[in-house]
């Protein structure tokens, strides 16, 4: 089944064969940007060889050992691979001209450079882009899984919102992902793969021919379109800690993708034991989904609060490594009409956060079918924001982005399908930009 919208064209011009990167044996020419067509699930063929994307340097060295590359060459070869993968964005081993033809052929025989498959792409009039990505299912030959990844361009930055899990084990009452059971954790390769796909599709790699995509070219050479990352997509990143850590370490590696840790924000619903580890082992910025200033209400909104109540959570935040005025923690607060949006709630919130270098992000609630919550009225959000602001906190209200493609989300699904979690996720993710 293919779903069309407006002037949609096929993502893969020839629908008679599966996308070539699945074989990863031939160079895939990227389809032009801005397409809104979904490829049928039946066309998905999982890669047969492991992808090198998302492996650490040590794992790359192991992969080289496995194909007989002598240990004496590992350091140099790993360095070369790293450069081709993460600086140049190579999609095929043939591009790796600093390596011998024999080695390239050997790599090709055993590995791929496969990223998640782009099943559909949408571009908003405001430039926001959304990709529906397909990943191998849990069992061999099983149905593929799907996640979404959203890119939000702004004048001074471009933020990519990544998922960490398919589904979520937690069940925050206002979150649509929370109504879905966890399907599985993403691997480091699937998390880094989201960045690779976004940069592929945006033309955000330096090209030897100087042929960058229009967005990249218009920004001039050397300007990176994906400058920031937020782990605010589907899933709880701190319940997939190791994979998220390994992926973010690759994203921040100065000799590769090189996105500064100050430009990487991990959002958690409050998995207290893994918060210090986030500071020590990743060193990125932290966002905490607070949403309530009292335990009784937070227990209801974020049930994980029953395990790690507010006092414990905030104490861990106070001790977050490298916390300072320059490196504040962001507290996220979803605005729910009549639930947590009164003046008293705002006062309790600022009182609670006293002494913590913090930013407060007020997020207009994104409703979904079946939810009993409503988004607070705009006036209410404004008065709430004023109280927070007068207490000395920056309190940006996140502006929803890509509204037009949110509306077009329905184009990605069949008429009978309900709006899916991933689509909800994308709607929500588009509101995330500060
Ligand atoms: N699991 C992590 C990260 C993913 S959710 C976490 O909970 O922090 C990212 C953010 O989206 C969280 O702040 C979450 O509370 C918020 N969110 C979830 N559903 C929402 C909705 N329907 N409207 C607005 N924000 C929502
Ligand atoms: Fe999971 Fe975050 Fe949604 Fe809660 S808000 S259910 S932790 S994705």
With H, G, I as helix, E, B as strand and everything else as coil, classify residue 3.
coil
290 lines ligand 1 (CB under 6 A): no
Note the pLDDT tens digit of each residue in 413-426.
322 233 344 444 44
Is residue 1 pLDDT above 90, yes or no? no
The whole-number average pLDDT for the span 220-248 is 91
334 lines ligand 1 (CB under 6 A): yes
Write the residue with the smallest CA distance to atom 15 of ligand 1. Answer: 289
Measure the CA–CA gap between 52 and 262, rounded to whole angstroms: 26
Structural tokens at position 152? 């939000």
Give the pLDDT of residue 144.
Answer: 85
251 within 8 A of 264, measured Cβ to Cβ? yes
Q: Report CA-CA distances (Å) from 397 to 227, 240, 345.
A: 21, 29, 16
Smallest-distance ligand from the CA of 398:
1
CA of 325 to the centre of ligand 2 (A): 27
- ∠ CA 285-421-271 to the nearest 5 degrees? 35
Measure the CA–CA gap between 85 and 87, rounded to whole angstroms: 6
Task: Please enumerate in sequence order all residues whose Cβ is within 8 A of that of 329, keeping only pairs 6 or more positions apart, or say none.
Answer: 285, 286, 287, 288, 317, 320, 323, 356, 357, 358, 359
Mutate to test the pocket of ligand 1, among 175, 241, 285, 297 (most ligand atoms within 8 A of CB): 175
Greater pLDDT, 88 or 405 = 88
Smallest-distance ligand from the CA of 166:
2
Give the pLDDT of residue 39.
Answer: 54
Q: Catalytic amino acids?
A: 148, 409
Backbone angles phi and psi of 119, in degrees to 5:
-90, -25
245 within 8 A of 281, measured Cβ to Cβ? yes
Structural tokens at position 399? 């502006």
Write the residue with the smallest CA distance to atom 5 of ligand 1. Answer: 232
236 lines ligand 1 (CB under 6 A): yes
Give the pLDDT of residue 394.
Answer: 76
CA of 232 to the centre of ligand 1 (A): 7
Give which of 132, 33, 35 is closest to 425, Cα–Cα. 132
Measure the CA–CA gap between 10 and 6, rounded to whole angstroms: 12
111 lines ligand 1 (CB under 6 A): no
Smallest-distance ligand from the CA of 304:
2
Mutate to test the pocket of ligand 1, among 428, 430, 431, 433 (most ligand atoms within 8 A of CB): 428
Backbone angles phi and psi of 299, in degrees to 5:
-55, -35
Give the pLDDT of residue 422.
Answer: 45
170 CA closest ligand 1 atom index: 1
Note the pLDDT tens digit of each residue in 20-43.
333 333 334 455 554 444 555 556
Q: For the chain, what is the mean pLDDT?
A: 82
- Following CA atoms 179, 182, 187, 192 in sequence, which dihedral angle do they give, to the nearest 10 degrees? 0
Give the pLDDT of residue 375.
Answer: 94
368 CA closest ligand 1 atom index: 22
Is residue 428 pLDDT above 60, yes or no? no
Measure the CA–CA gap between 277 and 268, rounded to whole angstroms: 13
Note the pLDDT tens digit of each residue in 247-294.
999 999 999 999 999 999 999 999 999 999 999 999 999 999 999 999
Is residue 430 pLDDT above 50, yes or no? no
CA of 53 to the centre of ligand 1 (A): 28
Give the pLDDT of residue 387.
Answer: 95
Note the pLDDT tens digit of each residue in 330-368.
999 999 999 999 999 999 999 999 999 999 999 999 888
- ∠ CA 190-90-225 to the nearest 5 degrees? 75
Is residue 16 pLDDT above 90, yes or no? no
Note the pLDDT tens digit of each residue in 112-153.
999 999 999 998 888 899 999 999 876 666 778 888 899 999
CA of 115 to the centre of ligand 1 (A): 26
- ∠ CA 307-311-317 to the nearest 5 degrees? 100
3-41+116-431 CATH choice from 1.10.3720.10, 2.102.10.10, 3.20.20.70, 3.30.70.1290: 3.20.20.70
Confidence of residue 209 (pLDDT cuts 50, 70, 90): very low
289 CA closest ligand 2 atom index: 5
Measure the CA–CA gap between 220 and 336, rounded to whole angstroms: 42
Give the pLDDT of residue 13.
Answer: 28
pTM: 0.85
- As a whole-number percent, the residues of the chain with pLDDT over 90 amount to 63
The residue extents of the domains of the chain are 3-41+116-431, 57-110
CA of 371 to the centre of ligand 2 (A): 15
Note the pLDDT tens digit of each residue in 166-207.
989 999 999 988 787 778 899 999 999 999 999 999 999 986
Residues having CB closer than 6 A to ligand 2 are 168, 170-172, 175, 177-178, 235-236, 269, 289
Write the residue with the smallest CA distance to atom 12 of ligand 1. Answer: 289
Give which of 214, 190, 162, 168 is closest to 30, Cα–Cα. 214
Note the pLDDT tens digit of each residue in 375-414.
999 999 999 999 999 999 877 776 666 655 543 333 333 2
Write the residue with the smallest CA distance to atom 8 of ligand 2. Answer: 235
Beta bridge partners of 362: 333, 397
Give the pLDDT of residue 408.
Answer: 33
CA of 233 to the centre of ligand 1 (A): 8
CA of 331 to the centre of ligand 1 (A): 11
Smallest-distance ligand from the CA of 237:
1
């Amino acid at each position: 089944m293919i779903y069309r919208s407006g002037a949609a064209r096929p993502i893969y011009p020839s629908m008679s064969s599966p996308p070539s990167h699945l074989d990863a044996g031939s160079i895939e020419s990227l389809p032009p940007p801005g397409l809104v067509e979904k490829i049928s699930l039946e066309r998905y063929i999982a890669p047969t060889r492991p992808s090198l994307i998302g492996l650490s340097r040590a794992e790359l060295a192991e992969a080289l050992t496995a194909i007989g590359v002598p240990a004496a060459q590992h350091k140099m070869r790993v360095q070369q691979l790293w450069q081709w993968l993460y600086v140049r964005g190579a999609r095929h081993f043939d591009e790796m001209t600093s390596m011998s033809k024999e080695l390239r052929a050997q790599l090709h025989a055993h590995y791929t450079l496969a990223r998640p498959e782009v099943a559909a792409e949408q571009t908003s009039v405001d430039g926001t882009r959304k990709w529906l990505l397909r990943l191998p299912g849990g069992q061999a030959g099983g149905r593929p899984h799907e996640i979404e990844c959203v890119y939000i361009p702004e004048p001074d930055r471009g933020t990519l919102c990544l998922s960490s899990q398919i589904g979520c084990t937690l069940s925050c009452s206002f979150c649509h992902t929370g109504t879905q059971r966890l399907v599985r954790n993403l691997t480091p390769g699937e998390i880094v793969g989201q960045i690779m796909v976004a940069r592929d599709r945006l033309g955000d790699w330096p090209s030897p021919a100087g042929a960058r995509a229009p967005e990249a070219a218009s920004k001039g050479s050397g300007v990176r379109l994906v400058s920031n990352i937020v782990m605010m997509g589907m899933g709880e990143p701190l319940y997939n800690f190791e994979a998220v850590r390994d992926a973010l370490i690759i994203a921040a590696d100065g000799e590769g993708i090189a996105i500064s840790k100050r430009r990487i924000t991990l959002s958690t619903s409050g998995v207290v034991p893994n918060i210090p580890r986030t500071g020590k082992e990743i060193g990125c910025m932290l966002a905490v989904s607070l949403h309530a200033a009292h335990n009784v209400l937070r227990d209801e909104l974020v049930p994980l609060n029953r395990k790690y109540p507010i006092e414990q959570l905030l104490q861990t935040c106070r001790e977050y490594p490298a916390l300072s005025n320059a490196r504040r923690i962001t507290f996220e607060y979803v605005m729910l009409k009549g639930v947590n949006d009164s003046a008293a709630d705002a006062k309790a919130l600022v009182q609670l956060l006293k002494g913590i270098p913090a930013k407060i992000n007020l997020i207009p609630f994104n409703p979904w079918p079946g939810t009993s919550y409503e988004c607070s009225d705009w006036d209410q959000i404004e008065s709430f924001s004023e109280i927070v602001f007068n207490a000395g906190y920056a309190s940006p209200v996140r502006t929803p982005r890509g509204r037009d493609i949110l509306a077009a989300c329905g184009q990605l699904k069949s008429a009978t399908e309900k709006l899916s979690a991933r689509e909800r996720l994308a709607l929500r993710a588009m509101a995330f930009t500060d």
